[in-house]
Amino acid sequence: MTTMRPGDPVEDFELLDQTGTPRRLSTLLAAGPVVLFFYPIASSGGCTREACHFRDLTAEFTAAGAQPVGISSDDVAAQQAFATAHGLGYPLLSDPGNTVAKRFGAYRRFLPGGLHTRRRTFVIGTDATLLDTVAGETDFDKHADEALAILRRPP
């Protein structure tokens, strides 16, 4: 498993979003920095709180020129139900084989219940380099709050 550090290049990838549309990281970055947040399972209590906090901070992310993008191993249908139920308004990517999670170091091998995706957030600059990361499994608001702080840092 890879551990990514600030300044590391982020390899491009493509996954389906909640509508079944292919999304490439490089295309998302063309519109501004991406806050890629990994979460264990769509519609669970903690993941719902985290995703809704990102949604509630839409104006702040827009002001920073950035967009949140959620990612988990849930299938497209589960991502669609999650996005619709909570009016999330940003892409939710389906990573069913945990391919991207493994690349980012947001995967854990051994966990009862099969929740392999770690709650990790990666703030990625438009040049496809990692600006910084946010970690923590139980402080659900922390990820969006700290991602905004990272985006607001002077260059």
Tell whether pTM > 0.85: yes
pLDDT on residue 113:
56
Q: Give me the percent of the chain exceeding a pLDDT of 90.
A: 74
Strands 92-94 and 22-24: unpaired
pLDDT on residue 110:
63
For residue 96, what are its two tokens? 């069913």
For residue 110, what are its two tokens? 């051994």
> Which residue carries 């991502």 as its tokens?
79
> In the chain, what are the domains?
15-152 (3.40.30.10)
- Quote the CA–CA distance of 155 and 144 in Å, as a whole number: 20
Give 65-94 as a 3 state SS string: CCEEEEEECCCHHHHHHHHHHHCCCCCEEE
- Quote the CA–CA distance of 77 and 128 in Å, as a whole number: 29
Catalytic residue among 29, 36, 47, 88: 47
Q: For the segment 22-68, what is each residue's pLDDT rounded down to a tens digit?
A: 999 999 999 999 999 999 888 877 788 899 999 999 999 999 999 99
Q: Give me the percent of the chain exceeding a pLDDT of 70.
A: 94
- Measured over the CA atoms of residue 105, residue 103, residue 57 and residue 155, the dihedral's sign is positive
Tell me if residue 52 is catalytic: no
Estimate the crossing angle of helix 142-152 against helix 45-56, to 10 degrees. 30
Beta-bridge mates of residue 36 = 69, 122
